[in-house]
Amino acid sequence: MSWNSAERNRDNYVWKVRLRRAWDFAWRSALTLLIPAIIVAGWFTYQASKYNLEEVAEMPARTVLMDREAREIGTIHGTNRRLVVAEKLPSFFKNALFAREDVRFRSHGGVDARGLARATFRNITDFDFTQGASTLTMQLARNTYDLRQKKSLSRKFLEIALTYRIEDNFTKDEILTHYLNRIYFGAGCHGLGEASLTYFGKDSSKLNRSQSAMLAGIIRAPHACSPFRNLEGALRQRDEVLARMVSLEQIDEATAAKVKAEPLGLRDPADELPSSSHAERALRRPLELVLNQSQITEGGLRVTTSLDRDLQKSLETTLNSLPLPRGSQAAGISIDPRNGDVLAIVGCLGEKPSGFNRALDMRRDLGSEMVEPLIATAALERGHVPVPGKPISTGRQLGEAETIRLLKRFGLEGLFGKGDDLYRGNLTLSPLELATAYATILQGGQRPAPCFVRKVEMDEASLFHRPPAFFPAFSSDSSPSSMPGTISGYSISKSDYWTAHLQQDRVTILWIGYDKPQKLQLTEELKELLKSLTF
């Protein structure tokens, strides 16, 4: 054997040893990593097995609304959803949704490995959970089982395990259906069906391409980008969805431009929508303020409201039976000055209220008869003597700037007129603000904080409780010595008519007018009827 051959054999031997060592290190390292991985996967698979998969297809239990005397007045969520079926939805909507939320929905097994790897790398570089890479199935698991607490690896592993269980037990169309019936779209809309009707006044199967792209876009920010709240933001989300569809070559730039030019057909919030009652509709907003989204979506709550069931029914019946001028509208609200409870509220005529609540959101001029008690209170606060029946003379003692400053203590947030017009009642306010202002006078200058929801419970556990609250607005000497039981009058423009019924345990305000202000003419018989009403 030559010297070169021996050298080659020795080199080959060294390389074989090195390869054997490398292979030994590799499989031992893999085994070292694989065993913990198997243990972790097994643990979270076991944990996921404890969850009831039937909940995926079940809509949240109803939330029961009780009046202040613990009498049921209705339900919200769960029973009020309009369910959709994925197969009946426009293909453009589904493509827009996939482009926005989960482009490989039809092909992955619940977890998008590429998206997850990309998000994991980003989270490592950011030293934070900035990216989630959640597929539609993962979102469905998170929403169904309320896994929306602080982001963590433990929560993500459980979510992934549940995702695989869902994928193994439901078809893709079933997963998409359950997702769209559960997800929140803003403006109190839980599920695509209700969102389509609320925003566009149509069934979800009839959505056009522009509407489809917008609804798919606002899922990530349903409250901030609700088209009722922020139309510019909603349009921006729509355009981002279309841009994403272009980048995926689902549509071209010309098609995207045509979609943007399609009529959005956004419904006027003042138009009537089906709802179970005025009380239920009015309570949606305050419930969103006191509960987080997951609690509202989950349902199964017992809500003790401020409402009085009998008074609510009486106010609805009374307003709908009045012989009002054709085309006019009406609203009413009653509060308890002793604690701020909103006892009854009607935002419009008809049994099925619209999204626009005139008792809360409309501000109109007041008129001299209605503003006089407020001006008199302001004058007494500064030591002046009110001139009965002459609010202008009373107001001139204070001056415009001081009058406005004092009137704001009633909690008024509208526009104030100038000079003598201010004292004639040229200031805009809502029926709720007027009721609160009169309640402040009846309470000796203590302004009650209006309240719709007093208590929220789930399975006997208290989630929310609000005691009565008052704000010192005027000294007790500032309240007029006698307040009339009923006050009625036109606004300066004669386009609004107000009636206030004042009692120690309730203040009831009625408003009559047109949505687009125009001269209002009531018969003398109707005026007398309004004054004689009892609640």
CA gap 187, 296 in Å, rounded: 13
CA gap 438, 415 in Å, rounded: 18
CA gap 232, 226 in Å, rounded: 9
Question: Residue 211: helix, strand or coil by DSSP?
Answer: helix
Q: What is the pLDDT at residue 161?
A: 83
CA gap 533, 535 in Å, rounded: 7
Over the stretch 264-300, which tens digit does the pLDDT of each residue have? 999 887 665 444 478 888 888 888 777 765 566 566 7
For residues 479 and 379, is the Cβ–Cβ distance under 8 A? no
Q: Give the E-state strand segments of 449-531 in sequence order.
A: 453-458, 461-465, 470-472, 486-490, 496-503, 506-513
Among residues 376, 501, 489, 510, which one has the least CA distance to residue 430? Answer: 510
Q: Give the E-state strand segments of 15-143 in sequence order.
A: 63-66, 72-76
Between the alpha carbon of residue 111 and those of residues 96, 136, 139, 146, 314, the distances in Å are: 19, 9, 11, 19, 55
Task: Give the percent of the chain with pLDDT over 90.
Answer: 57
Over the stretch 75-100, which tens digit does the pLDDT of each residue have? 776 555 677 889 999 999 999 999 99
The residue ranking higher by pLDDT, 3 or 145, is: 145
Encode 7-22: b = buried (16+ Cβ within 10 Å), e = exposed. eeeeeeeeeeeeeeee
Task: Give the percent of the chain with pLDDT over 70.
Answer: 81
CA gap 360, 509 in Å, rounded: 12
pLDDT band at 435 (very low <50, low <70, confident <90, very high): very high
The residue ranking higher by pLDDT, 133 or 198, is: 198
Between the alpha carbon of residue 230 and those of residues 11, 186, 221, 348, 384, the distances in Å are: 74, 11, 11, 24, 46
Between the alpha carbon of residue 291 and those of residues 46, 143, 147, 294, 462, the distances in Å are: 32, 16, 16, 8, 12
* DSSP code at position 352: S
- Number of Cβ atoms within 10 Å of the Cβ of 505: 11
For residues 432 and 410, is the Cβ–Cβ distance under 8 A? no
The CATH architecture one would assign to domain 81-261 is: Orthogonal Bundle (1.10)
What are the φ/ψ torsions at residue 446 (nearest 5 degrees)? -90, 115
Among residues 132, 98, 133, 89, which one has the least CA distance to residue 244? Answer: 98
The residue ranking higher by pLDDT, 265 or 117, is: 265
* DSSP code at position 429: E
For residues 265 and 208, is the Cβ–Cβ distance under 8 A? yes
For residues 343 and 334, is the Cβ–Cβ distance under 8 A? yes
For residues 326 and 242, is the Cβ–Cβ distance under 8 A? no
Q: What is the pLDDT at residue 120?
A: 56
Please name every residue paired with 451 in a beta bridge, in sequence order, or none if there are none. Answer: 341
Q: Tokens standing for 316?
A: 């609805």
CA gap 48, 38 in Å, rounded: 15
Q: Tokens standing for 215?
A: 């609804």
Q: Give the E-state strand segments of 143-300 in sequence order.
A: none
The residue ranking higher by pLDDT, 75 or 331, is: 331
The residue behind tokens 């609160």 is 436
Over the stretch 508-533, which tens digit does the pLDDT of each residue have? 999 999 999 999 999 999 999 999 99
The CATH architecture one would assign to domain 309-532 is: 3-Layer(aba) Sandwich (3.40)
- Number of Cβ atoms within 10 Å of the Cβ of 113: 11
Mean pLDDT over 229-248 rounds to 95
CA gap 497, 84 in Å, rounded: 44
Q: What is the pLDDT at residue 33?
A: 56
Q: Evaluate if residue 127 carries a pLDDT over 70.
A: no
* DSSP code at position 516: S
Show me where the domains of the chain are located.
Answer: 3-50, 81-261, 309-532
CA gap 356, 480 in Å, rounded: 35
CA gap 66, 59 in Å, rounded: 21
Q: Evaluate if residue 4 carries a pLDDT over 80.
A: no
